[in-house]
Amino acid sequence: MYNQFPGASETYRNTAEEKINIGLIGKTSGLCIIAYVIIQNALTLPLLFPYVRELFKTNSLFQDSVTIFLSVLGLLIPFAVGGKRLEKKLNVNAFPLEKPYDMRLAVFVVFLGFFICLIGDYITGQFTGLIEKTGFKLSQPDFATPDGIIGRLYYILTIAVVPALCEEAAVRGAVMQPLRRYGDKFAIIISSLVFAILHGNLVQFPFALIAGLGLGYAACITGSLWPSIIIHCLNNVYSCITAFMMTDITDTEKLNTVFTVTLYSLYAVSILGSVIFVFIKGRRSLNKLPTYNTAGKKAGAFFGNIPMIISLIIMLIITANYISRV
């Protein structure tokens, strides 16, 4: 049969090899998620002691320090190990931290990415409100907002800078980059799903899914993780500023006014930058590499393996803990 249909046999081999490689990326990602959960739970065992738990609840600097510690050891290290493993197995660069191909595109794609984050934030608000109308309340991990310049700078480091570096290296790096050889669109969508799942709650799920599309696009067209890191960081800085406003401005009417002006200003700036991005010269299209499997089969290869299935079940259980009856 092979001698009669050598072309068909080669296609079969290529199809099978593609599914195996995507499955390897899925297994590695699943193991990284499992390691992330295990390490975070192990490192938070001291919080079982009343004194440490009370300190964590009342001392924002201690809480922020623990959060940074968990982000680096729990998230960055497992995905760094997984990404390096995939680099050796698949001969890819999982962590492209080089200078972007086109600096002009890199600058203005930041505006586009931030605009997409704002859209994701709006849709998340609508989604949360819709769910609450059904009699359920969605919540997410909460962080105490500190007072003082030093405390707030450290808070920004904790909430904006460290997560941007760790999460982009993990998701847009270790997960997305190896998948790009099977199509940029596929890689962006799958990595966005992983990004949303990693947040472990439904409040952040739609935002992370939508924002992940913009972050992935920025990384793909620039050939570097730095634009997505910057977008991610700016979005989280905006969240920090919002938290500061809610703490400092006690007058509800004034708070609403300041928040509205800030939000509309950010919309205006991000839209203007996005328009410039569209019109400046440069390559902004995604790679369309030929693949042997349909998108459904590729997605099945990524998610349909034991480590990934176990990780999805774990994250589903964690997500359920942030859902309650009103």
Q: What is the CA angle 204-206-209, rounded to 5?
A: 100
Q: Are 113 and 172 in contact (CB under 8 A)?
A: no
Question: Quick one: DSSP state of residue 325?
Answer: E
What is the distance between the alpha carbons of residues 137 and 144, in angstroms, rounded to a whole number?
21
Tokens encoding 173: 């790096």
What is the distance between the alpha carbons of residues 122 and 206, in angstroms, rounded to a whole number?
10
How many other CB atoms are found less than 10 A from the CB of residue 283?
Answer: 10
Print pLDDT tens along the chain (326 aa). Answer: 344 434 557 888 889 999 999 999 999 999 999 999 999 999 999 989 999 989 988 888 999 999 999 999 999 999 999 999 999 999 999 999 999 999 999 999 999 999 999 999 999 999 999 999 999 999 998 888 888 999 999 999 999 999 999 999 999 999 999 999 999 999 999 999 999 999 999 999 999 999 999 999 999 999 999 999 999 999 999 999 999 999 999 999 999 999 999 999 999 999 999 999 999 988 888 988 889 999 999 999 999 999 999 999 999 999 999 999 87
Q: Are 70 and 42 in contact (CB under 8 A)?
A: no
> Rg of the chain's alpha carbons, rounded to an integer?
21
pLDDT at position 60 is 87
pLDDT at position 1 is 38
Domain boundaries along the sequence of the chain: 12-325
pLDDT at position 7 is 53
pLDDT at position 3 is 42
Length of the chain: 326
Which residue has tokens 């698949």?
Answer: 90
The alpha carbon of residue 292 and the mean position of all alpha carbons in its chain are separated, in whole angstroms, by 28
> Which alpha helices (DSSP H) does the chain contain, by range?
6-43, 50-58, 60-70, 77-90, 103-133, 149-156, 162-167, 176-179, 184-198, 205-222, 226-248, 252-279, 295-303, 306-320
What is the distance between the alpha carbons of residues 194 and 205, in angstroms, rounded to a whole number?
10
pLDDT at position 8 is 55
Closest CA to 237 of 308, 127, 162: 162
Per-residue pLDDT tens for 269-311? Answer: 999 999 999 999 888 889 888 899 999 999 999 999 999 999 9
Name residues whose C-beta falls within 8 Å of residue 201's C-beta, 6 or more positions apart in sequence.
Answer: 138, 139, 140, 141, 318, 319, 322
